[in-house]
Amino acid sequence: MLNNDGKPPVKRGGIFGRLRSWFFTGLLVTAPVLLTVYITWAAIKLIDGQVAGLLPGFSELRFANVPGVGLVIGVVLITVIGALAAGFLGRWIIRLGESILNRMPVVRSIYGATKQILETVISTQSDAFREVVLVEYPRKGLWVIGFVTGGTKGEVARRIDIDMVNVFVPTTPNPTSGFLLFCPRKDVIFMEMSVEEAVKLVVSGGIVTPPDRTAKTVARKGTARKAPAKKAAKKVAKKSAGAGRASKKA
Q: Is the pLDDT of residue 123 over 90?
A: no
- Kindly list the strands in the beta sheet with 131-136, ordered across the sheet, starting from the edge strand earlier in the chain: 178-184, 164-170, 143-151, 131-136, 189-190
Q: What is the mean pLDDT of residues 219-245?
A: 59
Residue 223 is predicted with a pLDDT of 58
pLDDT in tens, 11-31: 555 788 888 888 888 888 888
* Rounded-to-integer distance, Cα 55 and Cα 217, Å: 55
Q: What is the mean pLDDT of residues 90-117?
A: 82
Query: Of 158, 203, 200, which is closest to residue 182 (Cα–Cα)?
Result: 158
Residue 90 is predicted with a pLDDT of 81
Return the higher-pLDDT residue of 74 and 229. 74
* Rounded-to-integer distance, Cα 131 and Cα 61, Å: 46
112 within 8 A of 132, measured Cβ to Cβ: no
Residue 125 is predicted with a pLDDT of 52
Provide, rounded to the nearest whole percent, the portion of the chain with pLDDT above 70: 74
Residue 91 is predicted with a pLDDT of 83
Residue 225 is predicted with a pLDDT of 61
What values do phi and psi take at 147, rounded to 5? -125, 130
At residue 243 the predicted structure's pLDDT band, cuts being 50, 70 and 90, is: low
At residue 185 the predicted structure's pLDDT band, cuts being 50, 70 and 90, is: very high
pTM of the model: 0.54
- Indicate the domain borders of the chain: 131-203
pLDDT in tens, 189-224: 999 999 889 998 998 888 888 888 776 665 565 555
Residue 182 is predicted with a pLDDT of 94
